[in-house]
């Protein structure tokens, strides 16, 4: 399989910058919400009680921007991939190569999520079980 190297000519600059701006705004809102709100903004976590594959991402970026790289990697070891997503989304690579990239990122997130669930769930933040989740409330009602 050939190795694909992303070059400057392969990237459409305006859509990438637009997506970076959208990601920055979304990330800023998510971080602000996580600081202000007394509950999680993750729909998956609120519904199931189980942390989602991206749980800890906001805290990882907060730690990173404070200069704590090891803390950032603890909260989510793949936080550094988020800024690379627009490069993949708007690259001029062949569609097959982009699809392989999306599949690789998805598999990597899934693998890291499973490993984190095995090692840290349900006792270590951010992989704590949500006892107020919808599934847990339904389970209590149906008991």
Terminal-to-terminal C-alpha distance of the chain: 54
- % of the chain residues with pLDDT over 90: 34
Question: What is the per-residue pLDDT for 41?
Answer: 72
Most confident stretch, 40-44, 82-86, 138-142? 138-142
Q: Is the pLDDT of residue 117 over 80?
A: yes
Whole-prediction pTM: 0.71
Q: Count Cα neighbours of 4 within 13 Å in the Cβ-side half-sphere.
A: 16
Better pLDDT: 9 or 25: 25
Residue 130: both structure tokens together: 């949500």
């Amino acid at each position: 399989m050939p190795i694909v190297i992303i070059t400057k000519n392969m990237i459409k600059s305006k859509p990438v910058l637009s997506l970076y701006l959208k990601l920055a705004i979304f990330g800023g809102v998510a971080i602000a919400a996580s600081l202000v709100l007394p509950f999680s903004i993750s729909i998956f976590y609120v519904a199931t009680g189980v942390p989602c594959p991206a749980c800890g991402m906001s805290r990882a970026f907060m730690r990173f921007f404070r200069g704590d790289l090891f803390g950032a990697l603890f909260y989510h070891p793949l936080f550094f991939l988020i800024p690379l997503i627009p490069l993949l989304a708007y690259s001029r690579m062949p569609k097959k190569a982009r699809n392989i990239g999306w599949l690789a990122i998805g598999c990597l997130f899934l693998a890291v999520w499973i490993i984190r669930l095995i090692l840290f769930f349900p006792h270590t933040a951010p992989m704590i079980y949500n006892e107020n989740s919808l599934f847990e409330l339904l389970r209590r009602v149906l008991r």
